[in-house]
Chains A and B, each alone.
Chain A
Amino acid sequence: MKIWSPGSGRRIAAFTGWSMGETDQLISQICGEHRHREGALLPVLHGIQDALGFLPPETAGRVAEELNLSRAEVHGVISFYHLFRQHPPGQRTLYICRSEACQAMGNGPLIDHVREKLGIDFHQTTGDRRFSLEPIYCLGNCACAPAVMLDDELHGRVTSDRLDELLD
């Protein structure tokens, strides 16, 4: 049995593969940790995603049962928020800011460059599962635009060359 601890790393868990029973147990454990909080659903979903890298299909049913909610309510929340994902991501996720300040500093060519280099579009994962590409709307690095975030590492004044270094 795998023991889950907070922050045990989404990258590892997403690829070792959890059996159905193990996932259920993990979800119960995380629900247990947050059950005392009012409006616990977002912290619970973040906890599961931090551990597994995404929210597997059984999440809605299990969490609904644990928190005494309807399955529709949980599914509704999972599908509402952009940063909850229902499919396993690549080993690393590159978030590219699409917002105005980054547009003013030429993020367009940068986005084209990444699409071409990785051979994927937004919301897709490379065939070798090394990278997922996601748009993001503002990283708060607008004075050092254009900005990207690789997993949770922020980068500013990004050029195509700099991006190649990050991805290689």
Chain B
Amino acid sequence: MSLLTVWMSSLTDQSRVYVPADSAARSVGADGVARSVEELGLPLKRPGSRGLYWLEPLLEVDSEQGRIGFGPLRPEEVHGVVDETGRPNLEHPRCLGPIERFEPLSCQQRLTFARTGIIEPTCIDQYLATAGFTGLRRALELGPQDIVDEIKLSGLRGRGGAAFPTGIKWQTVLDAPGDRKFVVCNADEGDSGTFADRMLMEGDPYCLIEGMIIAGLATCAEQGYIYLRAEYPQAYRTMQAAVSTARAHGFLGGDICGSGRRFDLELRKAAGAYICGEETAMLESLEGKRGVVRFRPPLPALKGLFGEPTVVNNVISLATVPVIMERGGEFYREFGSGDSRGTLTLQLAGNVQRGGLFEVPFGLTLREAIEGLGGGTASSRPLRAVQAGGPLGAFIPESGLDTPLDYESLKSIGAMLGHGGLVVFDDTADMGALARFAMEFCAIESCGKCTPCRIGAVRGTEVIDRIRAGEDPDANRQLLRDLCDTMVEGSLCALGGMAPYPVLSVLDHFPEDL
């Protein structure tokens, strides 16, 4: 990878050892491995994670062939993989060879996640040394319309789930009259099976900051907010440190890079409401209110935060903007298939052998993702279902696995790509219980504004309980379908409007369970 080579060539002294400081890597013991490295007296660096989570804790050591990877490691194995002089033991059974040539990584197309897992997240010098802020510098030379045109050309669509073309959203905000405009980053990644936002914020926070500044320049907004989940305390600390450093280096504030242009950022901590991932509920929450969804229209692009025109984008959409500005919209749109341009940050989770993040061009099939990249189920039992797109996404049976992973193809089978997370279940999964959970979750997280969602989800849970208890199952199944129909057609937002999809998919594809 070019970024790595550039940065590696700047290293002159002793070889270094790298152990991720990503919270998921730490959750399975990376800190213990890091302590063992320090005990050996070797210089230690703590980057983010490569996203190869089945190999965490993953340790890497510099060598003439690039970084050599070892994993998953226990602290007591460290002295066996690297000696006191920092030389890697290539014969060790946990040796993965040069990590950049390791197939699960080399088969990817890392654009948004080019630096994650390589650089130390809050070190601004390393960010600058790996082409950081190059996209911003180019944006500063262009006018707002030129930036918007570049994003339109790239074909980038919202990576949060709705897949709305980012360039068109920015155009609407740019054209909207208003004295004040805002850029809001939706970092309330609450869908089960997704962790790309967390990984990026913990591994390459300046990339998100750079994307937000460019969004500000493109739409003439001077203030940005990052609405970040309280469930991600480490991402919050990393982003907070990066925002202060960026400000101290003149990338944020009243005079960005001496251009006279203004943009500043504020981090806001959420408080555990799933519904605040819905953009209008998030805006209410940022205003200091209950996270209750708003009627649309007006669109947030015209009347958003504090009633002003507002760009609301997901973390990954915004973090993809710098590479588009650096290498051009034409370059980015070469990747992908159909109307899904660029790369997909695929996240494999649940009962899968190789769970992690894979940045690949759109168009791979579900089977290629789960069996090829993921290596099948972790339990080695037959696969029963895959849930794509979080708790509001349908359960896809084995027969649907040849569907390509792009927005339109998944939609055509009644599923959705969402934020790119796939949760795999083996044949021990109780699909009836999962359908019940979908309704229960909707009842817990409903904001309460509209009746189909607030009451429907509670009644849905009860009806599923009755079916599972064998009470008049045929009539209750019909009732459940009617109720789902009411929720889909009558709810104000995607929570009530889509929570029925996993339920209906169980009725359709796994009737033996419900």
B24: which A residues are within 8 A, CB to CB? 140-141, 143-144, 154, 156
Of residues 65 to 118 in A, which have CB atoms within 8 Å of B's CB atoms?
73, 76-77, 80-84, 95, 98-105
Contact between chains at A80 and B291 (CB < 8 Å): yes
B270: which A residues are within 8 A, CB to CB? 42, 81
If the complex has contacts A38-B306, A136-B231, A154-B26, are A81 and B291 also in contact, measured as CB distance less than 8 A?
A: yes
Contact between chains at B378 and A147 (CB < 8 Å): no
Contact between chains at B348 and A100 (CB < 8 Å): no
Contact between chains at A41 and B289 (CB < 8 Å): yes
Interface of chain B, helix or strand or loop or mixed? mixed
In the bound complex, CA of A83 to CA of B188 (Å): 14
Shortest CB-to-CB span from A125 to chain B, Å, is: 18
Contact between chains at A82 and B271 (CB < 8 Å): yes
If the complex has contacts A142-B195, A144-B53, A144-B355, are A103 and B437 also in contact, measured as CB distance less than 8 A?
A: yes
Which residue of A42, A83, A98, A144 is within 8 Å of B285 (Cβ)? A42
Contact between chains at A104 and B27 (CB < 8 Å): no
What 6 pairs between A and B have smallest CB-CB spacing? A143-B355, A41-B288, A83-B272, A104-B350, A99-B192, A142-B349
Which residue of A45, A100, A149, A155 is within 8 Å of B192 (Cβ)? A100
In the bound complex, CA of A155 to CA of B272 (Å): 19
Is B287 located at the chain interface by the 8 A CB criterion? yes
If the complex has contacts A80-B291, A142-B195, are A100 and B387 also in contact, measured as CB distance less than 8 A?
A: yes
Shortest CB-to-CB span from B204 to chain A, Å, is: 16
In the bound complex, CA of A102 to CA of B235 (Å): 21
If the complex has contacts A143-B348, A145-B349, are A80 and B290 also in contact, measured as CB distance less than 8 A?
A: yes
Is B120 located at the chain interface by the 8 A CB criterion? no
Which residue of A73, A84, A95, A105 is within 8 Å of B271 (Cβ)? A84
Shortest CB-to-CB span from A1 to chain B, Å, is: 28
Of residues 23 to 64 in B, which have CB atoms within 8 Å of A's CB atoms?
23-24, 26-28, 53-54, 56
1/0 contact string of B269-290 vs chain A (CB within 8 Å): 1111110000000000111111
Which residue of A95, A104, A138, A141 is within 8 Å of B23 (Cβ)? A141
Most chain A beta-carbon neighbours within 10 Å: one of B194, B271, B425: B271
Is A11 located at the chain interface by the 8 A CB criterion? no
A83: which B residues are within 8 A, CB to CB? 230, 271-272
Contact between chains at B192 and A138 (CB < 8 Å): yes
If the complex has contacts A39-B286, A99-B391, A100-B193, are A144 and B27 also in contact, measured as CB distance less than 8 A?
A: yes
Most chain B beta-carbon neighbours within 10 Å: one of A98, A142, A155: A142
Is A46 located at the chain interface by the 8 A CB criterion? yes
Residue of A nearest to B266 (CB): A37
Which residue of A45, A76, A137, A145 is within 8 Å of B190 (Cβ)? A137
Contact between chains at A143 and B349 (CB < 8 Å): yes
Contact between chains at B231 and A149 (CB < 8 Å): yes
In the bound complex, CA of A94 to CA of B305 (Å): 34
A137: which B residues are within 8 A, CB to CB? 190, 192, 274, 391, 441, 444-445
In the bound complex, CA of A105 to CA of B350 (Å): 6
Contact between chains at A100 and B271 (CB < 8 Å): no
Shortest CB-to-CB span from A45 to chain B, Å, is: 7
Shortest CB-to-CB span from A23 to chain B, Å, is: 20
Residues of B within 8 A of A (CB): 23-24, 26-28, 53-54, 56, 189-195, 197-199, 229-235, 266, 268-274, 285-291, 306, 347-352, 355-357, 378, 387, 391, 421, 423-426, 429, 434, 437, 441, 444-445, 447
Contact between chains at B434 and A142 (CB < 8 Å): no
Contact between chains at B27 and A101 (CB < 8 Å): no
In the bound complex, CA of A98 to CA of B172 (Å): 39
In the bound complex, CA of A140 to CA of B288 (Å): 25
1/0 contact string of A23-66 vs chain B (CB within 8 Å): 00000000000000111111101100000000000000000000
Q: How large is the interface on A (under 10, 10 to 19, 20 to 34, 35 or more residues)?
A: 35 or more
In the bound complex, CA of A140 to CA of B315 (Å): 14
Contact between chains at B290 and A77 (CB < 8 Å): yes
Residue of A nearest to B23 (CB): A154
In the bound complex, CA of A83 to CA of B230 (Å): 8
Is A128 located at the chain interface by the 8 A CB criterion? no
A144: which B residues are within 8 A, CB to CB? 24, 27-28, 53, 56, 355
B285: which A residues are within 8 A, CB to CB? 42
Contact between chains at A100 and B230 (CB < 8 Å): no
Is A165 located at the chain interface by the 8 A CB criterion? no
Which residue of B233, B271, B437 is within 8 Å of A42 (Cβ)? B271
Beyond contacts A100-B350, A142-B192, A143-B24: 5 other A-B pairs, Cβ-Cβ < 8 A, are A101-B349, A140-B235, A142-B347, A142-B423, A143-B195
If the complex has contacts A100-B423, A101-B350, A152-B233, are A141 and B27 also in contact, measured as CB distance less than 8 A?
A: yes
Contact between chains at A82 and B273 (CB < 8 Å): yes
Contact between chains at A142 and B421 (CB < 8 Å): yes
1/0 contact string of A1-35 vs chain B (CB within 8 Å): 00000000000000000000000000000000000
Contact between chains at B195 and A105 (CB < 8 Å): no
Is A157 located at the chain interface by the 8 A CB criterion? yes
Shortest CB-to-CB span from B2 to chain A, Å, is: 27
Which residue of A43, A76, A81, A103 is within 8 Å of B272 (Cβ)? A81
In the bound complex, CA of A141 to CA of B290 (Å): 27
In the bound complex, CA of A140 to CA of B355 (Å): 12
Most chain A beta-carbon neighbours within 10 Å: one of B56, B231, B289, B424: B231
Residue of A nearest to B440 (CB): A98
In the bound complex, CA of A134 to CA of B425 (Å): 25
If the complex has contacts A73-B289, A144-B56, A154-B26, are A105 and B268 also in contact, measured as CB distance less than 8 A?
A: no
B429: which A residues are within 8 A, CB to CB? 103-104
If the complex has contacts A80-B273, A100-B350, A143-B348, are A138 and B231 also in contact, measured as CB distance less than 8 A?
A: yes
